[in-house]
Structure 1
Amino acid sequence: MKIGHILLFVSLLAGLGRPVAFAQTLTPEQARTDINYLKRKLDLLHPGMGYYTPKPRMEQLYDSLYNRLTAPVDYWAFYHHVSPLVTALKDGHTNLNHRKNYIGKTTRFIPFYIRPVGEQYFISHNVSADTTLVRGTELVTINGRTIADLHRELMEADHSGSDGDNLTGRRQWSLVQFADYYAAWYGSADSIKITYRLPNDTLVRYARLGCLTLNRFRATVQRRYPQEIDRRPNLSVRIVDTLTHTAVLRVSTFMGIKKNGPFQWAFNRRLKRAFREIREKNVQNLVVDMQGNGGGIVLNSARLLRYWMPKPFTIMQHEEMKRAARNELVTRWNPFSALNFSLQYKAAGVDGFASRSSRRRYRPRTKTAFKGNLYFMMNGASFSAATTVLAKTLDAGMGTFVGEACGSAYWGDFAGHFKTITLPNSHLQVRIPLKKLTHAVVADRANGFTVEPDFKVARSYDDLLSNRDYVLDYTLRLIREGVVARQPIQPIKARPLQASR
């Protein structure tokens, strides 16, 4: 259970700055102005309005929320009030966030990580002052509410990382980032009251625990669990079984290695080195670890696919955006933005624009192509561009998928470019995707709404206690037994994909 890449992800996204006053009351007029502004921006920009939730239902929900704003409302209540309109989109790339610097250096977080085993929840990493809360301690309640109840509410409050009615992304992130989700939804607190059971004990105990700032939380994790911090670089190769010639390729992100590298050359160079190493070490079974890979740049996902796809391929069937999205990409301060937009997009009827290069073809690698057995470790946090790789591989009839269903849809998602809007009075922020990306895949080859695992694997209590990489253990057992789920198939003519209703 490596923890290097999951240290308070949401709070880092929210930014670390000076704290602002929590108290703010909006008049009914201000609150209505804000929710009307949000709805108008969603209608203008979001390419998925009406896709997962029918438009009449969205209009009904908006009217209900708008009409209930008849009295002054404080900031916190308004944040909760707006949330259903965003979550109703069922789009994992659309996020409601607090105003800038609301989550800051003084915000205090629940002092542990929790992990599920069946229907129970256990402490896996404890950073509180009470060191008797060892790994495997069952957490029963926080402030009088059961963990199952809290988890359910947090899953419903935030659809980040999970498309449609798929639950795996929401379940994964709301647990991996439980402390962040809790602070964002319920607020910062100096302390919490918990009830718990120690390992091998039926007695329910009570404790009050102090909550920690981000810096103290991270420092304590690094001090108490130094061997469990994941320091593997992205695209690293590790030989795990010499008898079966098996290696693990860790693909933790498709974001660029260098933030300002427009052509992603650094990512491409590291990818080439990885597959040269795979060839030189005569790897015959390659485990591609995409657990927790939240996506990134589609170009980089295509580059990875080139190392095993059997024939030339395209990534996207269509890339589309609404007409109003052009104004977000063409700016006055950049005189070249209009020319760049016209080179990349063309008018698509009266409703919007389509990418000129969405059907770009990629040629498979030759010398460094991997010809052995492919196994993919995935979970609900395998999202966006990570799902693109999984969907294209499944469409090609390749790979054995192990773990749990990924977070995005097999057909594609809403991503590509983004616009973050700030509501004028509350200053809540909403990130809106501008493009609809449709994968170049055949609908009949899907094994579910998402990419589903061929072998579903869940954590056991012994896995939790030993910090075992249980998905890898299961995958290695499949390899030793010679189990392969599928082989490449011949392409057939694609038909349009539709969302599940």
Structure 2
Amino acid sequence: MKFIYSLLLFLITCSLQAQPQTDSLKTKILQPADMQADFRYLRRLLEETHPGLYRYTPKAAMQTRLDSLGNTFTKPLPFYDFYRTIEALIADIRCAHTYSLPAKDWEQPFNRQWKTFPLFLFPIQNRSYVLFNGTPNEAIKPGFELLSINGQSMDRIRQILYRYHWDDGYIQTSKQAALQGQLFTLFYYWFVDQPDTFTLTFKTLSGDTIQAIVPAQPFGTSLRFYKKNGVNKQMMAWYNKKQKHPWRLSFLKEPAQTAYLRLDAFGGEGATSNETAVVRFREFMDKSLAKMEKKHTQNLILDLNNNSGGWDSQGIELFTYLMKSDTAVAYYTRQHSITDNSDSEFIQFSDLSEADRKNIKNELIPEPDGTFTLKQGDAGGQPKRYAPKPNRFRGRVYICMNGRSASTASEFLAVAHANKVGVFIGEESGGAYEGGNGGSFVHLELPHSKIYVGTPLVYYNNAVGDIATKGRGTMPDYEVSIRIDDVLTHTSSILEFVKKLIREQDK
């Protein structure tokens, strides 16, 4: 699942027509019987299908938590109070692929109705900076640091949002996504407050402290001012540009013989199935490797910053083009499910095709502990091993990553790190080193509240060996973070750091 982690969520695709209306969920009151029924339904979904429910919390402790929550819905509650309770439980599972939303069709009211925070914030090392100003007020400029909202410090707001954000294990870098752009706007509205105006305190580019009062408004209105307000002109020119291709290869003038490979995501146009995803990626990589060979490339910079994932098979393919081993190695040691019941009411809400649902039992191997291993290699359930590509890159590899390098990207990073594919630069990745939960997903509405829930069906074990500390991402060899100056000048101190590493290696 890819949610709202990319830098520019809707800036190109969403409607500009904002028609402010009252959020009907704000006045919706849920009755005890309905909340109890919804909670029981959600609990069944988690206990019957979620393979990672007890991954970071022992079963006894999670059962105690569920029992306790089940006894709390004894009085009518406003909708958002119930939603916050559900989302806190979801966050406690510590799975980046498990989430809840207040409504299935949340995009339309967000664009047109909900009165929300009008600035696009960009988080850097526990500070929040303005990137786009969604108001007509030209005094608020990109690069201003936001210090407080309605008298509440950003440090306090950050802690509230972190409480509800879904992340793998105990990774902190991925939580910064909760303070970026439209995701901050949504989370503030859902979990902090829903005021009509915002009194804001900023630190300016010169270090002065100023205040401004801005209106709460639908995102469509904010988007219109992103484009109309002159203070955003340069930032919009740089960051509101839709790339023609999600995968791009270029060659640096300096250092010599250095290629730069940028992968925005593991997807690509025309990838409608696992098979087509592999074909598309192989075509791209084969052409890229041919170009690199022609230019006698010695160094490859692989940029996976903000890559939120996609097709697992493409991550595996990338690994086989870069692996150092001359023999085949495993990518996953095991993938498993906790159910093989194709007739389950929950499986009917999954993204599995009808043919896949009918074939579930043929693809799963029953285990003594009651789980079901997905067939990878042979019928005995042994891990599938992957051989290096004949045209693989054999030079030095430098891999850039951050807390938004998640899902498929984080799996690749973990396996590549364990197999010493290259040098890792940036921040802790956004997915657990040992593996997460994903594969196929169940998406459904709770019957009475209509809260929309998404949960995974497959538990992943990455082939990374023994783990000293579970629940953390891939750690960089060199920790380097983006700076606000990088954003305001459209430069990259991370790339410059990698160039320096290459020059030192070439001495």
Q: Taking structure 1 as the reference length, what is the TM-score of the superposition? A: 0.86
Could you tell me which residue of structure 2 aligns to residue 123 of structure 1?
A: 130
Check the 8 A contact 1:129/1:209 in 2, yes or no. no
Change in Cα spacing, 1:351 to 1:119, as seen in structure 2 (3 Å) is: closer
Task: Provide, for residues 304-337 of structure 1, a one-character-per-residue CA deviation record: whole Å limited to 9, x for no partner.
Answer: 1111113322221111101255435579997644
Residue 56 (structure 1) aligns with: 60
Task: Identify the residue that residue 285 of structure 1 maps to in structure 2.
Answer: 299
Give the gaps of 5 or more residues in structure 1: 485-501
Structure 2 CA distance, aligned partners of 1:257 and 1:389? Answer: 21
- Does residue 433 of structure 2 align to residue 391 of structure 1? no
Which of the residues 27, 31, 36 maps onto 1:32?
36
User: What's the secondary structure of 2:211's corresponding residue?
Assistant: strand
Instruction: Note if contact 1:11-1:180 (Cα within 8 Å) is conserved in structure 2.
Output: no
Structure 1, residues 338-379: CA drift from partner, whole Å, max 9, x if none? 553244222223623211125223221113x11111111101
Identify the residue that residue 193 of structure 1 maps to in structure 2.
Answer: 199
What is the 5 A alignment of 1:472-483? 472-482=495-505
Aligned pairs for 1:367-378 (under 5 A) are 367=391, 369-378=392-401
User: 1:347 aligned to 2:366?
Assistant: yes
Give the secondary structure class of the aligned counterpart of 1:371.
coil
How many equivalent pairs are there? 476
CA distance in 2, matches of 1:25, 1:329: 30
Code of the residue aligned with 1:51 in structure 2: it is: R
Which of 188, 213, 227 is equivalent to 2:238? Answer: 227
* Residue identity matched to 2:371: G
Partner of residue 494, structure 1:
none
Equivalent-residue separation in structure 1 for 2:217 and 2:492 (angstroms): 28
After superposition, the Cα gap between the structure-2 partners of 1:248 and 1:261, relative to the gap in structure 1 and judged at 3 Å, is same
- Whether 1:319 and 2:319 are equivalent positions in the alignment is no
Task: Report the Cα distance in structure 2 between the residues aligned to 1:79 and 1:102, rounded to whole angstroms.
Answer: 14
Q: Which amino acid aligns with 1:45?
A: T
Change (3 A) 1:38 1:363: same
Range with greater deviation from structure 2 (207-216 or 417-426): 207-216
- Is 1:168 the counterpart of 2:173? The answer is yes
Q: Contact (CA 8 Å) 2:340, 2:361: kept in 1 or not?
A: no
SS in 2 for 1:357: coil
Q: Is the 8 A contact 2:11 2:223 kept in 1?
A: no
Query: In the alignment, what sits opposite 1:237?
Result: 249
Q: Assess, with a 3 A threshold, how the Cα gap between structure 1 residues 433 and 64 changes in structure 2: closer, same or farther.
A: same
SS in 1 for 2:259: strand
Q: Distance in 2 between matches of 1:272 and 1:43?
A: 44
Instruction: List aligned pairs for 1:44-123, cutoff 5 A.
Output: 44-104=48-108, 105-106=111-112, 107-123=114-130
In 2, Cα distance between the equivalents of 1:402 and 1:58? 36
Q: Which amino acid aligns with 2:175?
A: R
Q: Deviations over 1:369-404 (max 9, x none)?
A: 111111111011111111111111111122111110
2-side partners of 1:262 and 1:399: how far apart? 27
TM-score using structure 2 length: 0.85
Structure 1 pair 366–12 and aligned structure 2 pair: CA distance change class (3 A): same
CA distance in 1, matches of 2:319, 2:65: 41
Separation in structure 2 between the aligned mates of residue 337 and residue 75 of structure 1, nearest angstrom:
36
- Separation of aligned partners in 1, 2:480 and 2:290: 31
Unaligned runs of 5+ in 2: 378-382
Match of 2:218 in 1: 213
Q: 1:49 to 1:201 in 2, by over 3 A?
A: closer
Identity of aligned residues (%): 24
**1:67 Cα deviation after fit:** 2.1
Q: State the match for 2:24 in structure 1.
A: 21
CA RMSD of superposed structures (Å): 3.2
- Is 1:255 paired with 2:255? no
| Structure 1 equivalent of residue 380 of structure 2 | none
Q: Is the 8 A contact 1:137 1:197 kept in 2?
A: yes
